[in-house]
Amino acid sequence: FHEMLSNREATRYWSTLPHTTLSETHTWITQSTTHTHDYAILLKTTNEVIGKIGYFGPEIGFLLHPRVWGQGYASEALGGFLQVLWEGEIEVV
């Protein structure tokens, strides 16, 4: 996650400035795990974390590592996330 969250290009439209320390990312991860609407995006073949997706009020937000951009992972993650959302596993407020 730190690789993504410290990348200026990846966080251009993110809600915070790029992280500058591992400690900052660790704090962010700790706080994110208490948010039940956040999910890691994993590369199926290796289980490597390549991003995250979550529901925040009326918005769905996601972050992907730039090295996997343009490969369809955002669309695939969104499709799976919407399915979970529609099945009622996530409470829509």
Domain boundary assignment for the chain: 1-87
1-87: which CATH architecture? 3-Layer(aba) Sandwich (3.40)
- Residue 56 near residue 62, CB atoms below 8 Å: no
Give residue 15's region: left, alpha or beta (phi > 0; psi -120 to 50): alpha
Q: What is the pLDDT of residues 33-82, one digit of tens each?
A: 676 678 889 998 999 999 999 888 788 889 999 999 999 999 999 999 99
Per-residue pLDDT at 90: 61
CA distance 69 to 63: 10
Give Dmax (Cα) for the chain: 38
Predicted TM-score (pTM) of this structure: 0.79
CA distance 25 to 2: 6
- Residue 54 near residue 62, CB atoms below 8 Å: yes
Closest C-alpha to 60, from 68, 49, 52: 52
Per-residue pLDDT at 35: 63
Per-residue pLDDT at 30: 85
